[in-house]
Amino acid sequence: MTNKTLLITASFLGLISIILGAFGAHGLKSLISIESIQTFEIGVKYQMYHALLLLFVGGTPLIPFKAKKIIFYFIVLGVLFFSGSIYGLATNDLSGFDFKSIAFITPIGGLLLILAWLTIAISFIKK
């Protein structure tokens, strides 16, 4: 893994969050409730926040490479579990799959995102 991998991944997470945000605001408007759209938007926000964080991590020399690798995996898995499950839960009525059955991965994703931030903080403390 390289800084380039982190930056490319961050770019795609950001790109996908913009696409999903537009889809949530326009494509889902007549299909799901306002509460579900607001829930969907939370997933989009957290995905974008962590895309930007990953851009920072990939572009800074202040974080050791070993920590960058750990942060990368925490963010990618965290976004997949947290935002991904929120997207599924918000659009549950549109799918043949009951996303409520895997809702337990949402807090796991949140924990992974917290661990990414904690890893960054520890890296700065050690500097």
pLDDT per residue over 45-103, tens digit each? 999 999 999 999 999 999 999 999 999 999 999 999 999 999 999 998 888 888 888 88
Burial class (CB in 10 A: 0-12, 13-18, 19+), 33: exposed
The answer to whether 51 touches 10, Cβ cutoff 8 Å, is yes
Structure tokens at 32: 């799901």
Record the tokens describing residue 113, joined without a space: 């995102």
pLDDT of residue 105: 95
Closest CA to 89 of 59, 69, 109, 73: 109
Task: Compute the half-sphere exposure of residue 11: CA atoms within 13 Å on the CB side of its CA.
Answer: 8
Residue-wise pLDDT for 3-34, tens only, equals 999 999 999 999 999 999 999 989 888 898 89
| H or E segment to which residue 84 belongs | helix 65-90
Identify the pLDDT of residue 93. 84
Residues 33 and 94: their CA atoms lie apart, in Å, by 11
Predicted local distance difference test score (pLDDT) of residue 86: 94
Whole-model pTM: value is: 0.92
What would the mean pLDDT of 33-51 be, rounded to a whole number?
95
- pLDDT value at residue 30: 87
pLDDT on residue 116? 98
